[in-house]
Amino acid sequence: MDTRRSAILYEPPGPVPFARAWAWQRQLQERLLADPKAPEAVLLLEHEPCYTLGRGASTAHLRFDPADPPLPLHRIDRGGEVTHHAPGQLVLYPVLNLQRHGADLHRYLRDLEQVVIDLLAELDLPGERCAGRTGVWLEGRKLAAIGVGARRWISQHGLALNVDCCLDGFAAIVPCGIADRPVGRLADWRPGLTCRDVAPGLLGQLERRFALRLRPPRQGEELEGMGQPAVSLREPMAQSHAGNGS
């Protein structure tokens, strides 16, 4: 018997401005606040280049004038410090009723980390946690940044996994406020890997970790301004990426 809960999967067709994705998250959050028994939802996307600051993040971790940023800069209602988004980074925003998933924000963060660690294991890569910090590392380089927020246990924000993005934008910040550990991307270990390759595994691990069954939106569940993707990111991986990283 399948005990998983149905959840709506939204996959915009191209890189999304941060403000638009944030508005979508709030729209989905409001749905669940209005009806806590409504279906949960997941956004899977790439962002147009930008920086985001958590609610209590320090501008001391910016290597530019926040009044004149090199890219759009957003202070938002998640935990954590500053991070960078760009195409080639796979961003996962689960909008969940956390009362269905343990009602524990610390456990939720660890579960999101485990989603990434289990995905890396599929690629024969040993993802790691760092004691006292949130995220996932590989050989000392941070691959996944995680920052979440919740309102009456309805979550927003989530995780950003560097796949084959340009890392130059990280040079303008102290990523996540961590100066002693550089960022990395999956393509450094698995050359040629793309977001389209990684998406099926990431979604599959999310389904397993949170007992979800993802489905496309139905009539009346559409989000304003979101077109249908020409090709779903969830198509099976085109190739195997086993072996040792370089």
Active site residues: 176
| Cβ burial 90-120 (10 Å sphere, 16+ → b, else e) | bbbbbbbbbeebeeeeeebbebbbbbbbbbb
AA letter at 120: L
Would you give the distance in Å from CA 116 to the centre of its chain? Answer: 10
Residue with tokens 């084959």: 164
| Amino acid at the residue 10 | Y
